Structure 1
């Protein structure tokens, strides 16, 4: 298998003792991924977004596009190791965190296993992922839905319509 386009989501909403505010944490995480062997090609700007779930602090989110020669399991292991290096421990789902790295996609690979879903299950509907994704890989095509990142983003921005009523 040759190198495939790897898309990684980055998020932070807590200060780090060494890297400071969440924006600094994301910059340091990109450097750590580079140092770990990920061939980073593009990084989006940092987007400030509202938290999902019970977290109270706003998040800094970004997406990076890179080249990866391994499989999805190896990429997951790499991002989890970087999270641990930044002090990430088991945390409340959607809670505050110093660093959250998600494997969003790996080329046209589709994996549906306990602990690993690629493309990421929430990728197609989460604006805080889609906006930075469009900056780094607008033409990337979701291997299951067949839509580009740009098309997914446009769909996510559309207002939700009330269902049609039938009858009185």
Structure 2
């Protein structure tokens, strides 16, 4: 690691079996293991949780989050995560939110806000997704959303207690 690596919160999800790895929970665990040491150092990792599907998919998801330190800038990390998804069988054609072997999303980073045509950090949807805020709050409860100023623990609490969640 360099002297000033970036810190990222990455969300992982799967709802499709991988022929060589196994069920979605195994795919998520495999992906987390694969990222550690290849794209940076994983310094915290949540348990893998099951969640209801989003969008047209009817298969339940396995979800987790990890905190990693990486020398990669956000666009380079996104490109590397997309490459990892492809390697694990992700296909990006067809219907949005369809079944997938793996989904790897940058949710937050230590640099605050990032906006480019291909990448927005914080992830635009994370505040409305308990399957992201739950695992994230379990490993980084005090990490603050640079848009709302709320911690991950506060965001998750608001989301799961029915209170309005900032957009």
TM-score (norm: length of structure 2) = 0.91
1:35-50 correspondence to structure 2 within 5 Å: 35-50=37-52
Which one of the candidate residues 145, 148, 155 is aligned to 1:152? 155
Match of 1:9 in 2: 11
Q: Provide structure 1 residue ranges, at least 5 long, that are not aligned to the other structure.
A: 162-168
**Quick one: distance in 1 between partners of 2:39 and 2:160?**
35
Q: Provide structure 2 residue ranges, at least 5 long, that are not aligned to the other structure.
A: none
Match of 1:51 in 2: 53
Which one of the candidate residues 96, 108, 111 is aligned to 1:108? 111
Quote the offset at 1:35 in angstroms: 3.9
Contact 2:127 2:155 in 1 (8 A): yes
List, as ranges, runs of 4+ consecutive aligned residues in structure 1 with deviation greater than 6 Å: none
When the two chains are superposed, the root-mean-square deviation of aligned CA atoms in Å is 1.5
Structure whose CA Rg is larger = 1
Quote the offset at 1:160 in angstroms: 5.5
* Match status 1:122 vs 2:130: no
> CA deviation digits over 1:134-165, x for unaligned, max 9?
1110010111211110111111112268xxxx
Contact 1:8 1:63 in 2 (8 A): yes
